[in-house]
Amino acid sequence: MEFLRVASGGAATSLAVLSGDEDALSPRARALARLATTLTAQPWAVTSETVKDALRQGLDADHVESAIGVVAMFNYFTRVADASGIEFDYQSPLPAFAPDRGQTAVPRPDRAVPSVSDGSVSDAGPVGDGQRLPSPGPLRTAWETWRAYLLDTDEPIGRDERRLLARVAAEESADWTGAEELGPPASGPDTPAIAFARKLSREPWCMQPGDLENLRVAGYAEPAILHVISVVAHQNATSRLALGLAAR
């Protein structure tokens, strides 16, 4: 929140975000915060109305696309931070954030529930059938270059395993279209890596050093563990990007 404090020119917005007090935010900030919260906690529930709320606050279509990209990217960074156990680098006059490790994940809809990605109608109203990638340009190029490396590299984990891990992350995001594009689902009992992918996708705040140790015991070396983390975190980001963009 320190960057937000500096960027917004004061502590008020950071304190509101820290405490989850949406009412203390400006209408524009509130619309963006709702977009971020919904896309993060229940990406399948983002609708065109969620997006229109932001547009009504003076953001244009390009800004909304960027906003969805930022939320998606931070669904990557937060998972890498939680899985790898990095520590906070910065000093701040703000109160320290105390993560609620007991937070319960929003129950995932089962496959029968209409999703944004299939263009169905949900209880929240009609949802869009728009594109699942950013408009052509530097952001799209960078995202696709990143994705190609994480899904189409043979070392230090193989392509089949990458796609299985990514598929779990897509399923946990209720991104059925994305899941199908990644190939068939894992069969049989969860392997340690699949269990890791499921936990990191659904409850990243619950990650502990023991989760990494489980992978080591299963034979994963540190470079392979980094790729497991990155593939899973990246697919969580990509599914949120896709569902957010498709809802426009």
Q: Which two tokens stand for residue 90?
A: 């910065």
Q: Counting contacts by CB under 8 A, is residue 216 touching another protein?
A: no
- With CB under 8 A as the contact rule, the residue among 77, 213, 216, 217 that binds another protein is 77
Cβ neighbourhood burial of 217 (10 Å; 0-12, 13-18, 19+): exposed
Q: Which of residues 106-125 bind another protein (CB under 8 A)?
A: none
Cβ neighbourhood burial of 169 (10 Å; 0-12, 13-18, 19+): buried
CB 13 within 8 A of CB 23: no
CB 139 within 8 A of CB 241: no
Spatial separation of the C-alpha atoms in residues 52 and 100, rounded to whole Å: 31
Comparing CB distances to another protein, the nearer of 158 and 184 is: 158
Question: Could you report how far apart the first and last alpha carbons of the chain are, in Å?
Answer: 28
Q: Which of residues 140-169 bind another protein (CB under 8 A)?
A: 141-143, 145-146, 149-150
Residue 126 three-state SS: strand
Comparing CB distances to another protein, the nearer of 130 and 140 is: 140
Minimum Å gap between C-beta 160 and another protein is 19
Q: Which stretch binds another protein (CB under 8 A): 11-19, 122-130, 171-179, 185-193?
A: 11-19
**Residue 213: which residues within 8 A CB-CB, separation 6 or more?**
none
Comparing CB distances to another protein, the nearer of 217 and 221 is: 221
- With CB under 8 A as the contact rule, the residue among 124, 133, 139, 218 that binds another protein is 139
- With CB under 8 A as the contact rule, the residue among 11, 45, 59, 168 that binds another protein is 59
Positive or negative, the CA dihedral 121, 122, 126, 132 is negative
Spatial separation of the C-alpha atoms in residues 202 and 172, rounded to whole Å: 6
Q: Counting contacts by CB under 8 A, is residue 104 touching another protein?
A: no
Minimum Å gap between C-beta 188 and another protein is 29
Strands (E), the chain: 121-122, 125-126
3-state helix, strand and coil shares in percent for the chain, rounded to the nearest 5: 60, 0, 35
Q: Which stretch binds another protein (CB under 8 A): 125-133, 173-181, 189-197, 218-226?
A: 218-226
CB 1 within 8 A of CB 17: yes
Q: Which stretch binds another protein (CB under 8 A): 90-98, 121-129, 172-180, 211-219?
A: 90-98
- With CB under 8 A as the contact rule, the residue among 49, 62, 118, 190 that binds another protein is 62
- Binding residues vs another protein (CB under 8 A): 1-4, 6-9, 13-14, 17-18, 20, 28-29, 32-33, 35-37, 39-41, 59, 62-63, 65-67, 69-71, 73-82, 84, 86-91, 97, 99-101, 103, 138-139, 141-143, 145-146, 149-150, 204-205, 222-223, 226-227, 230
